[in-house]
Structures are given as C-alpha cells and as structure tokens.
A = this chain, B = another copy of it.
Amino acid sequence: MAGRKYSRQREAIRGYLREHRDHPTAEEVYLRLYEEDPHLSLGTVYRNLSLLENMGEIRRIRAGTGPDRFDADLSPHQHFICRSCGKVLDMEVPAAALMLREAAGSFPGRLEECAVTFSGLCGDCAAR
C-alpha cells in the first residue's frame, strides 16, 4: 500500500476521529491523545491528519476563521459553524449536489470539489 508502514500514533488518531464526530481540531486531538501517550508530538498529529485526508479516510473542514477541523464522516453533508460559540454542526442539504452539477455543466475546466459552509447563530446561541 504505497510504502506505508503501521504506526501506533496514526492508528490512535484514526480511531479517535472515528469515535468522536464533533469535528475536533488538530490540537484537540493532540490534547486528548497526549493523556494516554505523553510522548506524542503535535507535529505527528498534524502530519497524520493530512495523511489521512490524502488517503481519503477523513475530511478537512476549513472553518471561516480559526483552525481546521476534521471529520471521519465521509457521507455527503455540509457544515454549519456558529459565529458565537464556534460549534460545528452537520447539515443535510440535498440541493448542494444539484448545485455542483449545475456549476460543473457550464464550467470550462475540471470542477473537482465544492466546499459549502454555513454560518450564523446556532439554536442555543440564537435563543438569547
């Protein structure tokens, strides 16, 4: 598999993301796994998150501001980021697929990706 070797650290990162679907940042993953492995390095977390992304095992969510977040849920969905509390919520917006098709039709190149990110106030924050 392309000269890739097993790594305990990568396995832990992969496992953490599969169990925690709250879109953690690299640092959040690091802090949590550091508790069980005090020799873990932040750079290792960043490197493996990028690796897992390239392998197609996880998705990177580029929050408007602040650090990137990561998601092991590969099903087609979008994200909402609350501008007040920073929470990231999953969104199901079927029209997104339609939009990609509509855009790809008239585009004179290769349209590969489409990042959709909603923002505003989440239910909790809007209640105030």
B-binding residues in A (CB < 8 A): 62, 64, 78, 80, 82-83, 91, 93-96, 98-100, 102-103, 107-126
Contact = CB atoms under 8 A, between A and B. Distances in A.
Q: Which applies to chain A's interface (DSSP): helix, strand, loop or mixed?
A: mixed
Nearest to A99: B95
A24 to B, nearest CB: 20
A118 B110 contact: no
Most chain B CB within 10 A, of A96, A103, A119, is at A103
Copies in the complex: 2
Contact of A117 (B102, B114, B120, B122): B114
Contacts of A99: 93, 95-96, 98-99, 116
B115 A117 contact: yes
Contacts of A114: 116-119
Contact of A121 (B62, B83, B110, B116): B110
A103 B110 CA distance: 27
Contact of A62 (B62, B93, B96, B116): B62
A107 to B, nearest CB: 7
Given A114-B117, A117-B115, A109 B94 contact: no
